[in-house]
Amino acid sequence: MLFSSSIFLFLFLPLVMLAYYVPCRLLGRWSRPAQNLLLLVCSLFFYAWGEPWFVLVMMASILANYGFGLWVHARKARGRSRRLPIVCALVCNLGLMFVFKYLVFVLTQLNRLGAQLLIPGIELPLGISFFTFQALSYVLDVDRDRGKVQHNPLKVALYISFFPQLIAGPIVKYETVAEEIDGRRENWTDFSAGACRFLVGMGKKVLLANQLAVVADFAYGLEAGALSAGMAWLGAVCYTLQIYFDFSGYSDMAIGMGRMFGFHFLENFNYPYISRSITEFWRRWHISLSTWFRDYVYFPLGGSRVDKRWKHIRNLFVVWLLTGIWHGANWTFLVWGLYYFALLVLEKYAGLGRGWPKVLQWLYTLFFVNLGWVFFRADSLGDALFHIRAMFAPAAGWWDGYAALFLTNNLPILLAGLLFSAPVARWLGERTQSWKGGAALVRDAAYSLALMALLLVSASFLVKGTYNPFIYSNF
């Protein structure tokens, strides 16, 4: 079930909201356990809607990590080393990801080297990378005293499977919501803010990302020799905007729904395309993944506080190798991760971009980010190199009818994407925040009408029934 589907928007979410806030509120002191149980059952149903068998995989992960958490807590209480349960948790969780996500890829590569191994038919469970990292976060945060151990397995299950962030994040660290599982306080301010955030995210996905995807898919689907430089650049730019509005739209919807239920997830995006360095870009893009690797991999390795330069470079290499691998079983993702490793090392130790005019810093960052998304989007390394070659040395010429047609038909969407990838809305909010009296009433009325229009227009697109999966749900 997708957030951007009619059945979710008009049936599942309203029913869950009604069940959460009406009968459960009448149960007095039993309200919170009943609400948590309701959210858990609905989350499992949400995941099982399209993948009924894979919900068993997630439930097995939940039970295993519940046990690991108790094991860590017991050894800690006795003053004994927690290394064994931590190692077992890592092997179990990463082994689960390996079997479902990477085993077929590894066996295929071995067969290309001469082996004759049987390739099993293994389908990828939706969001396995996300719920696996959340499960690991629970065990690791219990070990580090960043959250109390849960003796009730249903609470661990709710944390891992909570439907707003289950399929594509943000990756919610256990320490962020440990106290809110039982101690959250719902209020109208959070609910209304969450609903507004949800609508904005839906607009990003339905009105911008899905429309930009048409251009990007066409450009990346052209055969060799048929891709002009204009179409190659247009496709690359459209995908750069598409993946931002697709993923940040999902995050907005997840964060908004979390607030509607009383949970406060951390931000996952902060206008990454205004960055003036690759380092800054990764402080603004997919923040939950960056901080996960920072807290659980980079810092334990020593981070930047090591005595030798080669150790810091090694730490960066490990993090970005794992970041590439986390995204998928394809050489394109591996190269994409190492591509960012190289850029970050050049910024840190070769001074790339340092001291340049701000405009040049922004342009250079956007150029390399845009180039990186070509590797991310392409189906293979060969396709990625073909697309990049077409951008700079095209076999089909510098401009053609395809480029002119798609640019003309999609110029308003493209301009809107460029505009809203910058903090225009935030700037307007800050400028109008101090308005009083009639001006404030006009501001609030205009905002409400804009959200209503966003809902109606987005809903009209959803009713068409076009298939529009979120990009990161495949990870």
Verify cis geometry, omega within 30 degrees of 0, for the bond prior to 170.
Answer: yes
Long-range CB pairs of 233-236, under 8 A, 24+ apart, other chains included:
233/391, 234/403, 234/406, 234/407, 235/387, 236/370, 236/371, 236/373, 236/374, 236/387, 236/391
Structure tokens of 62? 């939940």
Quote the CA–CA distance of 428 and 405 in Å, as a whole number.
Answer: 34
- Of the candidates 73, 312, 327, 387, the residue annotated as catalytic is 327
Q: What is the pLDDT of residue 435?
A: 81
Q: What is the pLDDT of residue 29?
A: 53
Residue 410 · residue 211 · CB < 8 Å? yes
b/e burial code for range 356-386 (CB count within 10 A of at least 16 → b): eeeeebbebbbebbbbbbbbbbbeeeebbeb
Quote the CA–CA distance of 72 and 88 in Å, as a whole number.
Answer: 11
Q: What is the pTM of this model?
A: 0.92
Quote the CA–CA distance of 86 and 94 in Å, as a whole number.
Answer: 12
Quote the CA–CA distance of 156 and 134 in Å, as a whole number.
Answer: 10
Structure tokens of 103? 């085993």
Q: What is the pLDDT of residue 193?
A: 93
58: how many CB neighbours lie within 10 A of its CB?
26
Residue 298 · residue 288 · CB < 8 Å? no
Per-residue pLDDT tens listing for the chain (475 residues)? 778 788 888 899 999 999 998 876 566 555 888 899 999 999 999 999 877 889 999 999 999 999 999 999 999 989 898 999 999 999 999 999 999 999 999 999 999 988 888 888 888 888 899 999 999 999 999 999 888 899 999 999 999 999 998 887 789 989 888 889 988 988 999 999 999 999 999 999 999 999 999 999 999 998 878 899 999 999 999 999 999 999 999 999 999 999 999 999 999 999 999 999 999 999 999 999 999 999 999 999 998 888 899 999 999 999 999 999 999 889 999 999 999 999 999 999 999 989 999 999 999 999 999 999 999 999 999 999 999 999 998 877 888 888 899 999 999 999 999 999 999 888 888 888 878 888 888 888 888 898 898 888 888 888 776 556 676 666 6
Q: What is the pLDDT of residue 139?
A: 95
Mention every residue, 6+ apart, whose C-beta is less than 8 A from residue 243. Answer: 209, 373, 376, 377, 471
- Greatest CA separation found in the chain? 76
Provide the residue ranges of all domains of the chain, joining segments of one domain with +.
Answer: 32-184, 190-277+353-463
Say whether 327 is catalytic: yes
Structure tokens of 271? 């206008």
CA terminus-to-terminus distance, the chain: 16
